[in-house]
Amino acid sequence: MTNVLRIIGFGLALGFSGTAFAQTDTPAEPETPAVEAPAEDVPSGPQPGDTFVGATFSDWELRCLRLENGSDRCQMYQLLRDGTGTSVAEVSIFAIPPGGPAEAGASVITPLETLLTADLRVSVDGDKARVYPYSFCTADGCVARLGFTPEEITSFKRGVAAMVTLVPALAPDQTVDLTMSLSGFTAAYEDLRTRSGLN
């Protein structure tokens, strides 16, 4: 009985093998060449509503939004990190039309755990810090709106680094000092003003 099972098993295996060999030996049918779909016109460059990096100047990016009329609204951008490399705050600088006391504006977004009553402080190359209040908080963080006078813009152009200081709500006796590099600031700022039609 065992021999019979072995023979049947062997026969089944041979049958499967034979089928496999038969399939292998069958001449393959010629392949039909694939018909390519006509190429669609893919728009080149940013489209209205797209955000994109218009240029990079050392430690500053020029981030832009393509408008419906084909023009771009841009701002300078830098991500600020602490000593361990953790992202802590974002700085965005935008051009302001002439006529007011400020030459440029900025938004600094800090973590939600920021102590708002302590205000935000910005100093350039160790000079006396300027104080800016926080305006509001969203789900993304707390926002301080800054206005920079022509003198302050000049100090950014001449400086090496600015120190942005905030106070954590959970440790009100401590400060978080973030270095904002000014490398590339002048070139980025001039390009920003040109794109904004102010140069």
pTM: 0.76
The whole-number pLDDT of residue 33 equals 56
Supply the CATH number for residue 62's domain.
2.60.40.1880
- pLDDT recorded at residue 126: 94
Determine, yes or no, domain membership for 86.
yes
Residue 111 lies in a domain: yes
Residue with tokens 């001039």: 190
Angle at which helices 185-195 and 150-158 cross, to 10°: 140
- The answer to whether residue 31 sits within a structural domain is no
Please check whether residue 22 lies inside any domain of the structure.
no
Tell me if 37 is assigned to some domain: no
From CA 181, how far away is CA 143, in angstroms rounded?
20
One-letter amino acid for residue 15 of the chain: G
What is the model's pLDDT at position 31?
61
The Cβ of residue 192 has, within 10 Å, a number of other Cβ atoms equal to 24
pLDDT attached to residue 14: 34
Does residue 4 sit within a domain?
no
- Residues 22-62 have pLDDT tens digits of 334 445 555 655 666 555 666 678 888 899 999 999 999 99
| Buried residues in 50-82 as b, exposed as e (16+ CB within 10 A) | eeeebbebebbbbbbbbeeeeebebbbbbebee
Q: Could you tell me if residue 82 is inside a domain?
A: yes
What does the pLDDT profile of the chain (199 residues) look like in tens digits?
433 333 333 333 333 333 333 334 445 555 655 666 555 666 678 888 899 999 999 999 999 999 998 889 999 999 999 999 999 999 999 999 888 889 999 999 999 999 999 999 999 999 999 999 999 999 999 999 999 999 999 999 999 999 999 999 999 999 999 999 999 999 999 999 999 998 8
In a domain, 146, yes or no: yes
Round to whole Å and give the CA distance between 110 and 88: 6
Please choose, from the candidates 123, 192, 196, 190, the residue with its C-alpha nearest in 3D space to the C-alpha of residue 163: 123
Structural domain of 174:
51-195
Q: How many structural domains compose the chain?
A: 1
